[in-house]
Amino acid sequence: MGAFFSKFKVFGIVLLVISAIIITLFYNALKPEVKLPIYQPADFNTELVDSTLLHKKKYHTVANFKLTNQNGKTITQDNYANKIYVADFFFTTCQTICPVMTKNMVKVQEIIKNDDDVMLLSHSVTPEIDSVAQLKKYALKKGVIDSKWNLVTGDRKEIYDLARKSYMAAKTDLNNPYSMVHTENFVLVDKEKRIRGTYDGTDSKEIEKLIEDIKILKASYKD
């Protein structure tokens, strides 16, 4: 009798294991695939969007650009071709949100430093101050990896247009219409130059979400 119940016990355990495997497979098969939205200018706070784009609801992509990085190298969209990247706006003499943003971008850099699909791009909003030499000094101080992260300077109008018309990451300075107030936003851009997410670059939880969203976006290219 004992042997019978012993065999029944083993059978029951095997049945439970098989049932658990089947349930897991069904759950994974039925679980909806997580996809990131594709953001358009009309999805953003109007304060961040150039007036010419306020009602644009389709086909928005980041414009082509030509800027100069911390090594004096010309950086264009070609350097980010077929790449996922995170963009932001900062300036090296900023003493408020920029140090926190840079610290958090360094965290992202650490995660993606061996990932050939992902890069970083930080635009100076004070290009007249942030020369190549100044950017290089800042890059060295913060531990920027040149192959992963470009700190760029260049024509003020071009940078302003990128912030307002491409990334929706800056507000107009009401006291100076030819200047701007950059936000703390990190912007996730896909391989087609479309915006797939924005994140508070000063918030550690938002940075965790950004890192997870990068993984989701990468996985979408494997389908």
3-class secondary structure for 145-172? CCCCEEEEECCHHHHHHHHHHHCCCEEE
Q: DSSP secondary-structure letter at 48?
A: G
DSSP labels for 81-114?
TT-EEEEEEE-TT--SSHHHHHHHHHHHHHHHTT
pLDDT beyond 80 at 120:
yes
Q: Please state the residue numbers annotated as binding site.
A: 94, 98, 182
Look at residues 45, 47, 46, 83 and name the one whose alpha carbon lies nearest to residue 62. Answer: 83
Residue 39: strand, helix, or coil: strand
Instruction: Decide which of 8 and 110 is more confident.
Output: 110
> What is the tens place of the pLDDT at every residue in 4-55?
445 555 554 545 556 555 554 444 444 456 899 999 999 999 999 999 999 9
Q: Where do we find the tokens 């912007």?
A: 187
| CA pair distance 210, 102, nearest whole angstrom | 15
Q: Please state the residue numbers annotated as binding site for Cu cation.
A: 94, 98, 182
Report whether 162 contacts 65 (CB < 8 A): yes
| CA pair distance 78, 120, nearest whole angstrom | 14
Q: Where do we find the tokens 């414009």?
A: 63
Alpha-helical runs (H) found in the chain: 2-30, 98-112, 132-142, 156-161, 204-220
**Any residues with CB less than 8 A from the CB of 186 and at least 6 apart, and which?**
86, 87, 88, 101, 104, 105, 108, 198, 199, 200, 201, 206, 207, 210
> What is the tens place of the pLDDT at every residue in 62-80?
999 999 999 999 999 999 9
| CA pair distance 171, 160, nearest whole angstrom | 10
- 1-10, 30-39, 117-126, 177-186: which has the minimum mean pLDDT? 1-10
* Encoded tokens for 171: 């507000």
CA 195 from chain center: how many Å? 9
Q: State the angle between helix axes of 204-220 and 98-112 in degrees (0 to 180), rounded to the nearest 10.
A: 40
Q: Look up residue 162 and give its amino acid.
A: L
Average per-residue pLDDT for the chain: 88
Look at residues 109, 121, 138, 110 and name the one whose alpha carbon lies nearest to residue 77. Answer: 121
Q: DSSP secondary-structure letter at 133?
A: H
Would you tell me which CATH number, out of the four given (3.40.30.10, 1.10.3720.10, 3.30.1370.60, 3.40.50.700), belongs to the domain 41-220?
Answer: 3.40.30.10
